Amino acid sequence: MVKRMIDGKKSLFSGMQATGNLTLGNYLGALRNFVKLSDEYECFFCVVDEHSITVRQDPAELRKRARNLLTLYIAAGLDPKKNTIYYQSHVSAHAELAWILNCFTYMGELQRMTQFKDKSAKHADNINAGLFTYPVLMAADILLFQADVVPVGSDQMQHLELTRDIAGRFNSIYGDVFTIPEPYLGKAGARIMSLQDPSKKMSKSDENPNASIYLMDDKDTIMRKFKRAVTDSMAQVKYNDEQPGVKNLIDIYSVCSNKSVAEVEAEFDGKGYGEFKEAVGESVASILVPLQSEFNRLSSEKAFIDEIIKENAEKASYYANKTLRKVQKKIGYPERIR
């Protein structure tokens, strides 16, 4: 039996890290889908600042980026009165449930996680236990809110599978405690590739700034980066695996201009890459430029944002604690005396 937390509505959880500058990949793979789904579900959108400290952060910078991300959620179109938008670190239930779930997760499962392997190769001087148990905290995030659906980019699928395994394992011992979440991957945009090396995903931690479109890039920069994007010498706008650079640009254009892949191929039939890249740049700028002005407007509304931070942390805590108390009771923690 599936539990409905609020008003019979299904619930949705997702989170993003407040590290680095957000890219077009983050927007098309995740944030855009948050907005698309937000009417249909009871939504919890989290700035996962606890995940961020698995790699070293400058404190002032982390605080600033976390606030910017929270503001960006709202600027992208998530209504903070209807959706619960908050910081993970303001809701202690995340860390508390993560501890419990650590005791239901096997070392072997965590050792298989590709993100752990990638990040430990990248940060060889700081392979800390938090980096290793990162997916358990992510499972706790999702399960606390009994999420039915979790919109993510395809790089997070493995973590979501693990979340489902942990939840199933817990339920099989203690009964029906957690909803088993389903991933939501958008049709296109689930994996946007680097503009300089289309075999790698576009990543905010890429050292080459030309590889990524940052959400705060101005129009000239966007146009320039697309102009320099790596393609091939086949001189045809066709969607296939032999042309990974062109394929990536078609994906981006298709999502940003709301056209199907076939429509895009037809539109640029017989035309050169120069013209195509310019159209891709225009379509991306037509989304990012308004997003940036809304972000700038909201950033100056300090009292409004502060109020949202306070109210939504309380709301998130209320629902998270409901699940946490149930879990604590099931596993046999002593009852609280009131």
Where does this chain bind ligand LTN (CB under 6 A)?
13-17, 48, 51, 138, 141-142, 150, 152, 156, 159
Nearer Cβ to ligand ATP (167/202): 202
Residue 244 found at the interface with ligand ATP (CB under 6 A): no
Give the CA distances from residue 161 to residues 28, 64, 112, 244, 325, in Å, rounded to whole numbers and listed in that order. 22, 32, 12, 27, 25
What residues are paired with 116 via a beta bridge? none
Q: Are 243 and 234 in contact (CB under 8 A)?
A: yes
Nearer Cβ to ligand ATP (25/181): 25
Nearest Cα to Cα of residue 166 among 133, 190, 117:
133
What whole-number distance in Å separates Cα of residue 253 and Cα of residue 37? 21
What whole-number distance in Å separates Cα of residue 139 and Cα of residue 252? 30
- Piece in contact with ligand ATP (CB under 6 A), picked from 1-9, 19-27, 81-89, 261-269: 19-27
Binds ligand ATP (CB under 6 A): choice among 3, 4, 20, 291: 20
- The greatest distance separating any two alpha carbons of the chain, rounded to the nearest whole angstrom, comes to 76
Provide, rounded to whole angstroms, the least separation between the CB of residue 180 and ligand LTN.
Answer: 14
| Residue 138 binds: one of ligand ATP, ligand LTN, none (C-beta under 5 to 8 A by kind) | ligand LTN
Site for ligand ATP in 150-209 (CB under 6 A): 152-153, 155-156, 190-192, 201-205
| Residue 190 binds: one of ligand ATP, ligand LTN, none (C-beta under 5 to 8 A by kind) | ligand ATP
- Matching residue, tokens 């909201």: 298
| Residue 13 binds: one of ligand LTN, ligand ATP, none (C-beta under 5 to 8 A by kind) | ligand LTN
Binds ligand ATP (CB under 6 A): choice among 5, 11, 13, 29: 29
Q: Which amino acid is at 37?
A: L
Nearer Cβ to ligand LTN (87/276): 87
Nearer Cβ to ligand LTN (15/189): 15
| Residue 204 binds: one of ligand LTN, ligand ATP, none (C-beta under 5 to 8 A by kind) | ligand ATP
Number of residues near ligand ATP (by CB under 6 A): 20
Q: Compute the radius of gyration of the chain from its Cα atoms.
A: 21
Q: DSSP code of 27?
A: I
What whole-number distance in Å separates Cα of residue 156 and Cα of residue 161? 9
Provide, rounded to whole angstroms, the least separation between the CB of residue 60 and ligand ATP.
Answer: 20
| Residue 166 binds: one of ligand ATP, ligand LTN, none (C-beta under 5 to 8 A by kind) | none
Q: Residue with the closest Cβ to ligand ATP?
A: 29
What whole-number distance in Å separates Cα of residue 212 and Cα of residue 217? 10
Residue 16 found at the interface with ligand ATP (CB under 6 A): yes
At residue 103, the 3 state secondary structure works out as coil
Task: Write out the E strands in the chain.
Answer: 11-16, 42-47, 84-87, 149-151, 182-184
| Residue 90 binds: one of ligand ATP, ligand LTN, none (C-beta under 5 to 8 A by kind) | none
What residues are paired with 85 via a beta bridge? 45
Q: Which residues are catalytic?
A: 119, 201, 204
Nearest Cα to Cα of residue 312 among 16, 39, 47, 6:
47
Which residue ranges make up the site for ligand ATP (CB under 6 A)?
A: 16-17, 20, 25-26, 28-30, 152-153, 155-156, 190-192, 201-205
